[in-house]
Amino acid sequence: MCHKTFTWQRPDVSRQKEQTWFKLWVTESFSIRQLSKLSGHSQSKLKRIKNYWLNQSPPVRPDYSQYQYVLFDGTYFHKNGCLIICMDALTQRVIMSAYVSLENYKTVHPILIQLHGLGLRPRAVILDGHRMIIRAIREVWGSSVIIQRCLYHIQRQGLSWLRTYPKTEAAKELQRLLRSLPKIKNIETKNLFLSNYAAWIETYKSFVRALPGSTVAYKDLKRTMALITNAIPDMFHYLDDPHIHSTTNCLESFFSRLKADFRRHRGLSESHKKSYFRWYCFFKNSNTF
């Protein structure tokens, strides 16, 4: 007998076990101190675990051809960058995320090209109505893709321009019209909205034209009129296809929780911040929340 003891080591298994603590740090916003008390590991070891996984990339699904209805939007982090997310509207699975400097044509077009290369051929895209983003979508997927403008964004933007307490009767009437948008659930209510808006135009167009161009009332009404008029062609596709969402609210909800969780991890380097967002989306897709 050699009187020696051998220990089989499996680093891959150890890493997977350690990932449990990393998941809690990402998805539940546990601090390193809290994880140390929970796991029994030292804080220095947990920092090494965190940094190890932040330096890795989560697995990526190679084929996106199954997704037909997608939500597309971005959110800013203190004007320090914008997180762009493309989400499956039916399962609320994050298809892709990208952290960029600004949400514009220059940054979004390459993302769409990449999605196209991975097989994404959406039937409909629900988004807030950014004109340059719509242009990029049309260039990548053509005119056949359905663009659904988010009704919540239209309502919120219009109401902000009309102010909380509008001074003119025209603005008050238009405010009431915008507040009726969430109630449009069928063709009848859609037609009622369109007829009411047409009647508003007929009633107040002379009034708006007569307003001095430098006044706040004129600018507010003109901007809101342009918003609604330009959005109408892409406002009601959801009535023709039940799979199309009328808003991007589920994506906005995702952004809200992400920001609340990320706020507890301020101070990450730029590369680790981008990695944090990728892992956050990966764990969300894994139903670990």
In this prediction, residue 3 has a pLDDT band, given cuts at 50, 70 and 90, of low
| Residue 215 φ/ψ region, left for φ over 0, alpha for ψ in the -120 to 50 degree band, beta for the rest | beta
Q: Among 48, 43, 16, 45, which residue's Cα sits nearest to residue 31?
A: 43
The single-letter DSSP state of residue 287 is T
pLDDT digits (tens, 9 = 90+) for 105-122: 999 999 999 999 999 999
Q: How confident is the model at residue 33 (pLDDT cuts 50, 70, 90)?
A: very high
- Average pLDDT over the chain reads 92
288: confidence class by pLDDT, cuts 50, 70, 90: very low
Query: What would the pLDDT profile of 246-258 be if each residue is shown by its tens digit?
Result: 999 999 999 999 9
Q: What is the pLDDT of residue 287?
A: 64
pLDDT in tens, 37-94: 999 999 999 999 999 999 999 988 778 999 999 999 999 987 679 999 999 999 999 9
For residue 20, pLDDT over 50 is answered with: yes
pLDDT score at 2: 61
How many CA atoms, within 13 angstroms, populate the side-chain half-sphere of residue 65? 4
Domain spanning 69-149+247-285: which CATH class is it, in words? alpha beta
Please tell me the predicted confidence (pLDDT) of residue 15: 85
Whether 5 has a pLDDT exceeding 70, the answer reads no
Would you state the pLDDT for residue 79? 67
For the segment 175-183, the average pLDDT, to the nearest whole number, is 97
Helices 151-162 and 169-179, packing angle to 10 deg: 160
The whole-number average pLDDT for the span 24-42 is 93
Q: Which of 3-12, 145-154, 252-261 has the lowest mean pLDDT?
A: 3-12
Share of the chain above pLDDT 90, in %: 85
Give the residue from 287, 284, 276 showing the smallest Cα distance to 254.
284
Residue 35 pLDDT > 80: yes
- Residues of the chain within CATH 3.30.420.10 domain(s) are 69-149+247-285
Cα distance between residue 128 and residue 74, in whole Å = 9
Q: Give residue 25's pLDDT.
A: 95
pLDDT per position as a tens digit, 200-220: 999 999 999 999 999 999 999
- Asked if 112 contacts 137 with a C-beta cutoff of 8 angstroms, the reply is yes
